Amino acid sequence: MNKKEIDGETKLTPQITDEILKLDNQLCFAFYVCSKEILKKYRPLLEPLGLTYTGYIAMMALWEQDNINVKELGNKLYLDSGTLTPLLKKLESQGYVTRTRSVENERNVFIKLTEKGQLLKNEAVQVPLKLIESVGCGVENGEQLVSQLHKWMELLAKEMP
Amino acid sequence: MNKKEIDGETKLTPQITDEILKLDNQLCFAFYVCSKEILKKYRPLLEPLGLTYTGYIAMMALWEQDNINVKELGNKLYLDSGTLTPLLKKLESQGYVTRTRSVENERNVFIKLTEKGQLLKNEAVQVPLKLIESVGCGVENGEQLVSQLHKWMELLAKEMP
DNA sequence: TGTTGTTTAATTGTACACAATTTAATTCAC
DNA sequence: GTGAATTAAATTGTGTACAATTAAACAACA
């Protein structure tokens, strides 16, 4: 599909319509499948740690920067409080984090790793290692793609005019 | 992170552990965010058609190849009957498809587009066009990425030994 | 000061995804 | 030909995501 075919000037023939709606041409579908399939690979590796994938990335964010509020955590993870609140309550019940409402500004709830949560890091580090092994992809291969995807993340996450 | 650092031989120092667990280094997280954010962009465009994203890709698969059974459709979409059965019932209730159990082999349920479902294609074609416009990405840019992601789809979807 | 607007979490309701199981039909092995 | 194994779809139960709303706290400002 070239530029000419998809701009407003060109008439949408049946052939062009078919090409535009072909599943294999959809970037969104490729993202969607890659995301789902990779999450499926993580699930059995995370299960022994008692973590779901969302719990895992929340812990990763906290291992990088501890003691942040729900809003900040949501910015890092691209998630909102509707998803995070129940998740963080679960992590709290598992003893990995504490949730404390700030006294300076009672709107903020700060999330802090417990000792158990900090120690989990040493087991969690095995997860990406095992995954790379099981998928059998080159690491260098992935690095280039990650930086490319980060550009798309920014592009897609910013709201349109 | 280079190969040496992640293989089993190298000792996991705290620095290496940090690097391995950094959110920005995770391919899975990049896939996950790109997928979620692009789906978020599709939602308002699909809403006027009465389609969810999953309904949209199911219709795309059927516009490409009509009259296939649930299993085949699942292979195309990387979804199983647990997701598809309720989805297809909804598309049926909306008048876009019919679900008919095969007489030759009663285990199979074939999905067929109605006339209304076929006509929807002409409206749906506007969806990718509007999206490309709103995201403001080059089309060529996306094409290269799509083919790269298809390799990952295959790699990730095949089950491990 | 008091009113209005904004910010932060939490809540509510809807729609996925998927693992695991169930049911029914078909195929395979012997 | 019959019992075992396999296959396809449906069902059940759990865990996200997110839009929209609510509630409370805070900020801005006439």
How far does the CA of residue B103 sit from the closest CA of chain A (Å)?
30
B106 secondary structure, DSSP code: T
Whether the pLDDT of residue B2 is over 60: the answer is no
A20 secondary structure, DSSP code: H
Tell me if B47 sits within 8 A of B33, measured CB to CB.
no
Whether the pLDDT of residue A102 is over 60: the answer is yes
Helix-strand-coil split of chain A, %, nearest 5:
70, 5, 25
Closest protein residue to C16 (Cα–C1') = B83
The CA-atom distances, in angstroms, between A147 and each of A129, A152, B55 are 19, 9, 31
B111 secondary structure, DSSP code: E
Per-residue pLDDT of A2-34, as tens digits, reads 444 444 456 889 999 999 999 999 999 999 999
State the average pLDDT over residues B85-95: 95
Whether the pLDDT of residue B141 is over 90: the answer is no
Minimum mean pLDDT among A152-161, B24-33, B120-129: which range? A152-161
Q: What is the rounded average pLDDT for all residues in chain B? A: 89
Per-residue pLDDT of A43-93, as tens digits, reads 999 999 999 999 999 999 999 999 999 999 999 999 999 999 999 999 999
Nearest residue of A to residue B142, measured between CA atoms: A27
* Residue A149: per-residue pLDDT: 93
Task: Kindly determine whether residue B142 and residue A18, on different chains, have CB atoms separated by under 8 Å.
Answer: no
CA atoms within 13 A on the CB side of A43: 7
